[in-house]
Structure 1
Amino acid sequence: MQHLRAAWALAGAAVGFFLLFLIQAHLEGQLVAGTCEIVTLDRDSSQPRRTIARQTARCACRKGQIAGTTRASPACVDVHIVRNRQWCEMLPCLDDEGCDLLVNRTGWTCAQPGGKVKTTTVS
């Protein structure tokens, strides 16, 4: 029983130290390896039935990874996906959406079940 309590105490301490590390890195402006954050997000709804959104993300990706999009959020993805412009391989759409490459491979579309389509282009 004492071993179990000691194991839980060690696990709790490890989680606590990890959380402190994350908080410290965030306060210092550094990202933890393999994570991203949105720096700017601008939306333009001046055209009827159309919203143009532009976002800039900052990522601290591991070796062999590059900034991309997973589940409609910035994420680190394998570099081969971006080099080969196989955008749908990084799972950029939400679970209930279908992904299709644009014809010129400059981005992708996410089609929702109700017929709404979100188009993303890479610049």
Structure 2
Amino acid sequence: MLLLRQAWAPIAAAVSFLLLLLIHNHLLREGGQLVAGTCEIVTLDRDSSQPKRTIARQTARCACRKGQIAGTTRTKPACVDVHIISSRQWCGMTPCLDDESCNLLVNQSGWTCTQPGGRVKTTTVS
């Protein structure tokens, strides 16, 4: 019986520690602090009221490292090098999917991703 009491305390401490660790990790993923170099989508609104056109607006929250800023990689929010954003060379972020081609808009306010079938997705930065 004495041995059981002595073993119970370290087991209870270990279980408590694991439970706290799980709660901490859950809070980090659910609106807590982001891991450095990562982003999450905060809001996403879609408007398909116009024929053959969908307007989507998204807001992302990022925790970027020094020398990085929020951008887009492979159509998802990501931390990218600051010089890409400051020089407005959007295609340097690799914003399009692998099978799409990226082109800058004439006024450098965004980019287009052209799919092999000819469908074009236009992204503007505001």
What's the TM-score once normalised by structure 1's chain length? 0.81
**RMSD of aligned Cα (Å):** 1.8
1:121 alignment partner, one of 93, 104, 124? 124
The answer for the alignment partner of 1:52 in structure 2 is 55
Which deviations, in whole Å up to 9, do the C-alpha atoms of 1:59-97 show, x marking residues without a partner? 000000000000000000000000000000000000000
Structure 1 counterpart of 2:81, one-letter code: D
The answer for the alignment partner of 1:79 in structure 2 is 82
Q: Does the CA-based 8 Å contact 1:69-1:91 persist in structure 2?
A: yes
Q: Does the CA-based 8 Å contact 1:109-1:120 persist in structure 2?
A: yes
Percent of residue pairs bearing the same amino acid type: 79
Shift of 1:29: 1.1
Tell me which structure has the larger Cα radius of gyration: 2
Shift of 1:24: 4.5
SS state at 2:60 partner: strand
> Is 2:92 aligned against 1:103?
no
The answer for the alignment partner of 1:61 in structure 2 is 64
Shift of 1:25: 1.9
Measured in 2, the distance between the counterparts of 1:71 and 1:122 equals: 16
Give ranges in structure 2 of 5+ residues lacking alignment: 1-20
Shift of 1:23: 3.7
Moved more, 23-32 or 93-102: 23-32
After TM superposition, where is structure 1 displaced by more than 4 Å over at least 4 residues in a row?
19-22
Measured in 2, the distance between the counterparts of 1:27 and 1:42 equals: 20
Moved more, 21-30 or 84-93: 21-30
